[in-house]
Amino acid sequence: MNINIKMPKLKFRKIKMDTVENLENVDIDYEKMQKEKLKQKRTEPYERTHYKTIKECFKEAIEKYADRPCILEKMDHKEPYKTFTYEKFGNDVISLGTAMVKLLNLKDEKTIIIGETQYDWYISYMATLCGAGIAVPTDRELPLNELENVVKRSRAKAIIYSPKKEEDIKKIKEAVPEVEYFIEMKSDKPLEGKDVGINYLIENGRKIVESGDNSFMEMEIDPEEFKVLLFTSGTTSNSKGVMLCNRNLAENINAVKAYVKLYPTDRFFSVLPLHHTYESTIGFLLPIAHGCSIAVCEGLRYIVPNLQEAKPTTVLTVPLLVESIYKKINETIKKSHKEKLVNSMIHVTNGLKTLGIDLKKKVFKEIYDNLGGNIRIIVSAAAPIDKKVGNWLEDIGIVFLQGYGLTETAPIAALTPEYKPMVGSAGKPIVQAEIKVDNPNENGEGEIMIKSPTLMLGYYEDEKATKEAIEPDGFFHSGDIGYMDEEGFIYITGRSKNVIVTQNGKNIYPEEIEMMLDKIPEIKEVMVYGKSPEGEESKRKDEKELIITARVILDKEKIQELHGDISDKDVYDIIWNQIKAVNKKLTSYKAVKSLEIKEGEFEKTSTMKIKRYKELQKDKK
């Protein structure tokens, strides 16, 4: 599930901090103050839900929240958001599901869903989960050969696709004749041969329902039934297909409920691709279960205007996006010469908050307004994040949560409780899960092992890989390295497959060094790896010691701002001197010995992680 991502330039309004002058007029809500103090003292999870299937959540939501907004989508950049209510969403899901089962006979078949985030993607996924087949969410950025491979390996009988994928779909029709139906999103096309528009199916499904046939909603869903197929780590013949069931997805909803309070008034902001479980489960199924609304971001370059228009309360994202927002807002504060005032007000409001008086949203109103005005929760997952970023968000009053999991855990295995923030940690195990550290070293670090009801059924058509990944006692080998503190909070220090092993048997996790180098202002992005003197990224026992190497992409804008027009050699020397300063904070065997400056961008996954293996493969070539 890979895409190339380039962060856009974010533009925020000037920060004047005018609100500070009006603080003497603030009324204190003493009842709210007492609730805030009680929340700060909380140590136990909230009462959680006990959903067994997504269909349960869906039925409850469309009945309970019928008139409330569900999905907000931009049909045209120049037009305001269009709102689809829960009633509309529910009727369309039922109608589409009915048509897929009754007209296309897809009940037990696999259906690929591919395209950019949009209303039709949401209803397609929900319809399959509620009984219209097995969903195969697929990365819209896949090259044609990999898409063809997914279609063949999954043996999909239908593809629901965005109009933007039309050219690829034409070629798939020729290459994979076994596919019986090609369903185009945003289309009224009548059923002709294999082609049909999704609106045509919805309309005809509606007629079937109105005739008195309610069989789709009466269909019982087995919580253990295979319902979602996701291919991990690309879609080559070697990639694994993760099989999920309704129980996996429903237990994610139950788990989050125990740690975080959500309300029907909450609005999620969808910026990550929906084919990824992080977004499709926590960014879609979770808010639906709580009657929240979801505003779709048009794309990375529209993040700021979309935030300001949609006014979300909750943003699910990855470190790269959070850090970009943090850097840009703080640059705006610095240009306004307000950094001292902001810092002093952080200290004042932190002190007041310990008394139960929370003035942060009023004091930092301009920062909030830049993000739409209503932000209360930001969740970061998929990779480690600089601790100072999370602390800063908490300091201005935004609840900063971190989650941990994998596609195999659908995806949540651990999450920060909102009542016990622990910035820097990946969270505590969800209430239904057991997590342990296998074979810890002298620092308590070892492989993270997970036993959870969110854990997959297994790998698709690969019993051997399933047995290797899941022990007989039910614990799953995550492949992540980390440790747990005395309170049970998890800290991820690296991926076992990324580990660099020295000749003396010492393990170096590049992510740890990367987080330190990321703080160098002249560096935009960095990848640390072990390079042999011969130029190979891996080594055998008879080879010489690997050279710990930092491959960096420059932040040219920042270099220009800090140093003006300087030579490439000067840039190299400036960065190298700062790397040497970082080395002093590292044990000697972890020290970076070589610097490489890369032009262009790193290739990234859908969760914005650098594709290390691709970078290193390029070196071989």
pLDDT the model gives residue 542: 43
The two three-digit tokens of residue 282, written as one number: 């926590």
pTM: 0.83
Give Rg (Cα) of the chain: 25
Within 13 Å, how many C-alpha atoms sit on residue 153's CB side?
23
Whether residue 377 contacts residue 416, with contact meaning beta carbons closer than 8 Å, is answered with: no
What domains, with CATH codes, occur in the chain?
A: 85-246 (3.40.50.980), 499-620 (3.30.300.30)
Q: What's the mean pLDDT in 405-434?
A: 95
Res. 2: pLDDT tops 50: no
Q: What whole-number distance in Å separates Cα of residue 199 and Cα of residue 163?
A: 13
What's the mean pLDDT in 356-378? 93
Confidence at residue 42, expressed as pLDDT on a 0 to 100 scale:
83
pLDDT higher at 386 or 540:
386
Angle of CA points 571, 573, 575, to nearest 5°: 70
Other CB atoms closer than 10 Å to residue 240's CB: what's the count? Answer: 20
Provide the pLDDT for residue 37: 60
The two three-digit tokens of residue 91, written as one number: 């009727």
Cite the beta strand spans of 60-197 per DSSP E.
69-73, 82-85, 110-114, 134-138, 158-161, 181-184, 195-197
Residue 540: per-residue pLDDT: 41
Angle, helix 166-175 to helix 144-154, in steps of 10 degrees: 50
Strand partners, 432: none
Distance CA 122, CA 114 (A): 11
Q: What is the pLDDT of residue 482?
A: 92
Average pLDDT over residues 208-223: 97
pLDDT confidence of residue 168:
96
Task: Provide the 8-state DSSP code for 24.
Answer: G
